[in-house]
Amino acid sequence: MATIAIAKKHSLSHKKAKEAAQKVAEDLNERFGLAYTWHGDCIDFTRPGLTGQLHVLRDEVRLDCKLGFLLGAIKPAI
């Protein structure tokens, strides 16, 4: 199973960072059908062939994804 891990520093307040993460989750849901749920400061998301988490930290957001077989084949393009 292929994985993707991305971390990005931010200078937002924790509340603003969570609001931005919520907007990203809504956009991903609308565009790609990713279902998501919040668990504290983390968004778990899933769709066929992909699972992942978006962690909202004090000064960083981190995205960790696991790609299924078919999506793993296009990992370089993602």
Which of 53, 57, 48, 59 lies closest to 4 in space, CA to CA? 53
Do you know the residue count of the chain?
A: 78
Percent of the chain that is helix, strand, coil (3-state, to 5): 35, 45, 25
> pLDDT truncated to tens, each residue of the chain (78 aa)?
688 899 999 999 999 999 999 999 999 899 888 999 999 999 999 988 889 999 999 999 999 988 875 554 454 445
- The confidence score (pLDDT) of residue 76 equals 45
- The confidence score (pLDDT) of residue 4 equals 86
Dist CA 20 CA 4 (whole Å): 20
The owner of tokens 């990992």 is: 75
